[in-house]
Structure 1
C-alpha cells in the first residue's frame, strides 16, 4: 500500500503539467462556473498511474481470485473514463440530469449523457454478475454501482467539491474494507490527491472523465467488500440524494447551510 501510494502520488503530480498542456493545445477547454476557460477532462491524469500500479500489484499476487479483482476494478474504471471523455468532448449541455437524458432517449434522441447512463448501467451489470448469487442481489449491486457513479457527477459542480465528497467516503472505506479488496483504493486515491489542488484552485476541471472514475470506484468497492445490509443502506442514501437533486439545486442547499458552505469553499 505504501509503495502504491508514493508512486501514485508522485508520478501523477509530475504528469499533471503534461496533461494540462496536451488538453490546452488540443483546445479541450471549457468555461467553468465563473466563465474562465480552463482545460477539461483532466480526470484522464488518474489513468496512467492506475495502470502502472495495477501492473505492479498484479505482478506480486499469487491468487487468480485476487488478480480477477484487479482486472475487474481496472476494466470498469477504464470503461467509465472512456464514457466520461466522450461526454466531456462532444457532450451537449442543453440536457441535464438523469431524468432529462432519459426523456430525450424516449423521444428518439441519444445524448452523450444518456449514452453514459446506459453504458454505466451495463458496466454495473457486468461487474455485478461476478459478485451476485441471485437476481435480487444482481439488481442491488447494479444499482449501487450505477448510482454511485452518477453521485460524483452530481457533486462535480464547483472546484474541489466532488473530490472532497469522494475522500469523505473513501477514508472510512479504506479503514473498514478487509482482505485483498483493502488494497484496491490505493490504485486510485493517491492519484486523486496529487491532482486535488489543481481542481480546488479551478486551474482545470477533471470533468466526467474524472467524476465517473471516482464514482464507479466507490460503487465497485462497495459491491466487492461489503454485506448486502450495508449496500442496501448505501443504496437508500443514493436514491434519496438523486431525488433531492432532481427537485432542488444542490449548490443552493450547500450555500444556504453555513457548515456545508464553509467546507465547500475551504481551500479555494
Structure 2
C-alpha cells in the first residue's frame, strides 16, 4: 500500500511538472486567457492538467486491483471528467453577471440558463448518480448527493484569489488521506495532491488560473472520497458545508478571511 501511495503521489507531481509548459502554451495559442483580480491577462483553464494525471493513475491502479474495487476508480474518473467538462464550459462561455447558487437558480426558475446554473444542475445530477452507485439506502443517497455537490462548489467558492482554492484542497485532502477512507479513493486523491503541489506555484504567482475546470475537479474529488467515511463523520461534514454555503450567500468569504488574522496569514503564504 505504501508503494502504491508514493507512486500515485509521485506520478501526480512529476507528470504535472512535465505537462504544465505544454498546457500553458496551448492556452496562450488558443487565446484562452482572462483578466485576473489584478487586471492581468493570464491563461485560464489550467485545471485541465488534472484530467490526464487522474487518468494515468487510474490506468496504473487497474493493473493492481481487481474485482468489485475497480468500480471505485471508474467512478472517480467519470466524476472528474463530468465536472471538468461543466467547469470548462463556464470558463470559456460564462460571465460573472450572476453569482451565487441562489442567483443561478433564480434565473433557472425564469427559464433562463446560465453556465453557472448548468454547472450547478449538472453537478447535482452527477452527484446523485455517483451516490446511487455507492450508497446503501435512500438516506445514504440523499446525504451523499449533498456532500458531493456541496464539496464541488466549496472549492469553487475559495477560487477568488491566487492559490486559495488549492490551499483549501490540499489541507482538506491531507485530512481525508489520513482518515479511514476507501483505499482506491485514497490512492487517487494522493495523485491529485501531488499534481496540486506541482501546479500551486503557478497559481500563487498568478501566472495562470486553474479556472472552474480545476476547482470543479478538485471539489468533486473531495466529495467522492468523503462519502466513503462513516455516517457520523459524513453528517459533520455535511453540516459544515451547509453552514458555509448559507454564510457565503450573505457574506463575502474574502472579507471574512481578511478579518481573521490566522486565515489571512495562511491565505497570503506564497504570494
Equivalenced residue count is 266
- In the other structure, the counterpart of 1:234 is 237
1:76 pairs with one of 76, 79, 88: 79
Within 5 Å, which residues of 2 pair with 1:30-41? Answer: 30-41=34-45
Cα distance change of structure 1 residues 38 and 114 upon mapping to structure 2, 3 Å threshold? same
Question: Any idea what SS the aligned residue of 2:178 has?
Answer: helix
Structure 1, residues 209-230: CA drift from partner, whole Å, max 9, x if none?
000001000000011x201111
Structure 1, residues 216-253: CA drift from partner, whole Å, max 9, x if none?
00000011x20111111101100111011110111011
Cα distance change of structure 1 residues 159 and 135 upon mapping to structure 2, 3 Å threshold? same
2 CA distance for matches of 1:159 and 1:124?
Answer: 27
- In the other structure, the counterpart of 2:222 is 218
- In the other structure, the counterpart of 1:207 is 211
2:63 pairs with one of 55, 59, 62: 59
1:157 pairs with one of 135, 157, 160: 160
Gaps in structure 1 of 5+ consecutive residues: none
1 CA distance for matches of 2:181 and 2:148?
Answer: 19
Contact kept? 1:128, 1:141, Cα under 8 Å: yes
Within 5 Å, which residues of 2 pair with 1:43-58? Answer: 43-58=47-62
Q: Please report how far the alpha carbon of residue 178 of structure 1 lies from its aligned counterpart in structure 2 after TM superposition.
A: 4.4
Matched, 1:190 2:190: no
Structure 1, residues 31-53: CA drift from partner, whole Å, max 9, x if none?
01111100001100111121112
Gaps in structure 2 of 5+ consecutive residues: none
2:23 pairs with one of 19, 23, 40: 19
**Is 36-45 or 6-15 further displaced after alignment?**
6-15
Matched, 1:118 2:121: yes
TM-score (norm 1): 0.97
1 CA distance for matches of 2:135 and 2:52?
Answer: 30
Question: Any idea what SS the aligned residue of 2:63 has?
Answer: helix
Contact kept? 1:156, 1:211, Cα under 8 Å: yes
TM-score (norm 2): 0.96
Within 5 Å, which residues of 2 pair with 1:126-137? Answer: 126-137=129-140
